[in-house]
Structure 1
Amino acid sequence: MPDAMTIDTLIRNRLHELAEPRLAEFNRRLMPGVGRHVLGVRVPSLRRLAAELARRDDAAGWLATDPAGMSFEEVVLRGLLVGRLKTDADTWLARVAAYVPLIDNWAACDIPCSSFTAIRRQAERGWAFLMPYTDSDEEYAQRFGLVMLLDHYVNDGWIDRTLARLSATPTHGYYAQMAQAWALSVCFVKYPEKTLPHLDGGSLTPGVRRMTLQKIAESRRLTDPWREIIRQMRTRQ
């Protein structure tokens, strides 16, 4: 079986081949506070590489290697690979939990979260797993929990619990607040009647409420009657 160094070398070589210096500079400006070197690899390329790596016998071993010194793209690739590799529920949740501390910017959170679809197959257990993250006072851990609700729990079976959680959760830091507003805006577009009471007289902070209404107003999927209601709510702020 190939060792972790073999796959590590392959990954770094491939990422450097795919790197675009101009894109790296652009991405750095979009991710304030990113603490890792940014190579400038496009997300579709990272997804394709993750799919390729998932077919290797040594992929799971790479997830267990020390992440010190990894580039931003290597971290995101690790998250995407967690989403790709099939395993039992305990192992999968442990891998997700190990990934969360590596998040130090919104992109390292949001890109892999959408690929964590395995949580839908164990939705009740997944919900319990996410609750400590939605309650976290660490900005990016909390963003992770909120984005996971957005990606996997805004549906008919979970919308009531998701709305209750989103509207009652105090958020810590700009990027957690933005995740809360983003998630609530998606809830409103999909379930306006259910979401409206959580926005009008709910327990949201004025800042999160303002961001939520703005994001709803920007949606192209909003029907005209609901758009007018949102416009009126914004004028009352």
Structure 2
Amino acid sequence: MTSLQKRLFELQDTKYRDFHSKLIPNIDKERVIGIRTPMLRQFAKEFGKKTEAEDFLVELPHYYYEENNLHMMLLTQVKDFQRCLEQIEGFLPYIDNWATCDLPLPKCFAKHKEELLGHIRIWIASGETYTIRYGMGVLMRLYLDEDFRPEYPEWVAGVVSDEYYVNMMIAWYLATALARQWDTVIPYLEERRLSPWLHRKTIQKAVESYRITPEQKVYLRKLR
């Protein structure tokens, strides 16, 4: 066990491990330490100031789930866009679960949206479950307001996959997009452009959202 792993185990909460490991069923429980996110985030903030953090970022693959989460948290602190992008792309192939994939984005991404778009397109077309999911997540978080373009939902809806975590992300993206770009996205449901499963799941997630108006929810239920 490395010195870093020993420090992570000092933050362990076994009850939390037992609970959280059920949410990431594709990860062996023995690879889950059990660290609550606020504690790991605080650890990342302090650890990121140390030179050993740079060594950790190139020591791939990691064994523990929390090491992968720590890796992503450290990348959010990288201020230089090109360096951050290179490190994200180097790490994407090692992401093996939805929770690590869905952690907050690097702050520098919001300042470089145009440069990022080409990479997002490549990620979504990659064929790799969590790389696809990550690309869709970036598109959902950064490009649904003033930077929105009608072709973005097409990028997402155009993905055909048997992977549950990809399809859940497609539904999540479209449901979120409905709340922000209703007129552009609602035809995907009205014209039944999605598979039956995605159609139902998108409506379900949209109806559950507080961002969708009561009137819109009534209309969506009629489209089931």
Partner of 2:7: 14
Kindly provide the CA deviation profile for residues 133-175 of structure 1, in whole angstroms up to 9, marking residues without a partner as x: 2112222221121112112222221242322322223234110
**Residue 197, structure 1, aligned to residue 215, structure 2:** no
**Residue 174, structure 1, aligned to residue 164, structure 2:** yes
**Residue 102, structure 1, aligned to residue 86, structure 2:** no
Partner of 2:143: 153
Partner of 1:185: 175
1:76 to 69, 73, 76: 69
Kindly provide the CA deviation profile for residues 158-198 of structure 1, in whole angstroms up to 9, marking residues without a partner as x: 24232232222323411000001001111111222222122
d(CA) in 1 for partners of 2:162 and 2:50?
A: 39
d(CA) in 2 for partners of 1:40 and 1:156?
A: 39
2:37 to 33, 38, 43: 43
1:31 to 17, 24, 29: 24
d(CA) in 2 for partners of 1:156 and 1:17?
A: 44
Partner of 1:92: 84
**Dislocated runs of 4+, deviation >6 Å:** none
1:15 maps to amino acid: L
State the SS of the aligned residue for 1:14: helix
Question: 1:202 deviation in Å?
Answer: 5.0
Map of 1:123-142 to 2, 5 A cutoff?
123-142=113-132
Question: 1:127 deviation in Å?
Answer: 1.1
Change (3 A) 1:54 1:28: same
How many equivalent residue pairs? 223
2:185 maps to amino acid: T
Contact persistence 1:84–1:115 (CA under 8 A): no
d(CA) in 2 for partners of 1:158 and 1:220?
A: 21
State the SS of the aligned residue for 1:18: coil
Kindly provide the CA deviation profile for residues 68-123 of structure 1, in whole angstroms up to 9, marking residues without a partner as x: 4x210011100110111223x33211100111112111111112xx2323222221
Partner of 1:65: 59
**Unaligned ranges ≥5, structure 1:** none
TM-score, with normalisation over the residues of structure 2? 0.91
Contact persistence 1:187–1:195 (CA under 8 A): yes
Change (3 A) 1:102 1:14: same
TM-score, with normalisation over the residues of structure 1? 0.86
1:160 maps to amino acid: P
d(CA) in 2 for partners of 1:133 and 1:109?
A: 13
CA-based RMSD of the aligned residues comes to 1.9
**Unaligned ranges ≥5, structure 2:** none
Change (3 A) 1:171 1:200: farther
Change (3 A) 1:22 1:165: same
Partner of 2:215: 225
Partner of 2:47: 53
